[in-house]
């Protein structure tokens, strides 16, 4: 499905840009622990953006896989963007949101697995 491919490609584009920003622009302004949180957010965004490209290739053949794309997208927003916010602002309350994103990633992986098992 084209939508998941577009979201995945956009996630990769933003992930690389944010990774470069973190490596070159934030190092002077953000303490190491918060910079590490930013880098974890970028890593998970890139991994799950690639997963969205897989979803884009398989969604029409396995409908369950399309739902995985929804959870990957929610996961990126909740997990990665909460870590970006934490790193940039120091607002520790954002760490409460991060596990919800991780749960979305797990649900997405489970749905991807189910979809792949149902493929003929």
CB 117 within 8 A of CB 71: no
Q: How many domains does the chain have?
A: 1
CB atoms within 10 A of CB 87: 24
Q: What is the pLDDT along the chain (120 residues), one digit of tens a residue?
A: 789 999 999 999 999 999 999 999 898 899 999 999 999 999 999 999 999 999 999 988 988 899 999 999 999 999 999 999 999 999 999 999 999 999 999 999 999 999 999 987
Q: How far, in Å, CA of 99 to CA of 78, rounded?
A: 8
Helices assigned H by DSSP within the chain? 2-21, 32-58, 63-75, 81-89, 98-118
> Residue 67 belongs to what domain range?
2-118
Burial class (CB in 10 A: 0-12, 13-18, 19+), 29: exposed
């Amino acid at each position: 499905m084209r939508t998941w491919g577009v979201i995945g490609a956009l996630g990769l584009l933003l992930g690389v840009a944010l990774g470069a920003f973190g490596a070159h622009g934030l190092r002077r302004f953000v303490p190491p622990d918060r910079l590490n949180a930013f880098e974890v957010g970028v890593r998970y965004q890139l991994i799950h953006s690639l997963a969205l490209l897989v979803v884009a290739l398989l969604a029409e053949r396995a409908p369950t896989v399309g739902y995985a794309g929804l959870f990957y997208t929610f996961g990126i927003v909740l997990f990665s963007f909460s870590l970006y916010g934490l790193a940039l602002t120091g607002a520790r309350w954002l760490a409460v949101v991060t596990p919800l994103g991780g749960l979305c990633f797990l649900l997405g992986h489970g749905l991807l697995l189910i979809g792949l098992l149902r493929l003929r």
